[in-house]
Structure 1
Amino acid sequence: MAHAIPNNDFYPKVDVLSRIGNWFSATIVSIAENNPRMRRVHTLQAMSDAQLAALGIKRDDIVHLVFRDVYYT
C-alpha cells in the first residue's frame, strides 16, 4: 500500500525584500514605542481631564510638553 503525502504549502511565499522591509518597519515602530518620551505621552493621554488639570496640563499640550526640548524651541 502506498501512502501519498500532499505537498501543501501552509505558509505563503514572501520575497526577501518584503520580509526585510517588514522587519525594518517593525523594528522602527518598536524603537519608537519604547522611547521613554512616548511612554510619557501615553501615560498622560490615559489620564482624565481632571487629573491633567490638577497637574496644570491641557490635553492639547501633552506632546508639546513632553517633546518641548527636542522639537520646540
Structure 2
Amino acid sequence: MAISTTEFHVERPTIRARFDRFFSALAGAYTAYANSRSRIGEIRALEAKSDAELKAMGIKRDQIAQYVFRDVFYV
C-alpha cells in the first residue's frame, strides 16, 4: 500500500492587495456606468426618429438599444 501526502501553502492576500482589488472593481463599474450614460442621448435621438427614418438606417424600433450598444455587446 502506498501512502502519499501533499502539502501546499496558500498565501492570504495582503490588505493592500484587497484594497487594490476593491478599488479596481469599483473603477470598472464606474467606467461601465459612465459609458452607458453617455449613450442615453443617442438612444433618445433614435427614439425621436420616425419609423421610416429608422427603416432607412436599417434599424427596427425594438433594436435601438442593440444598435447603440453594438460595440459593447454581441447580440
TM-score by length of 2: 0.46
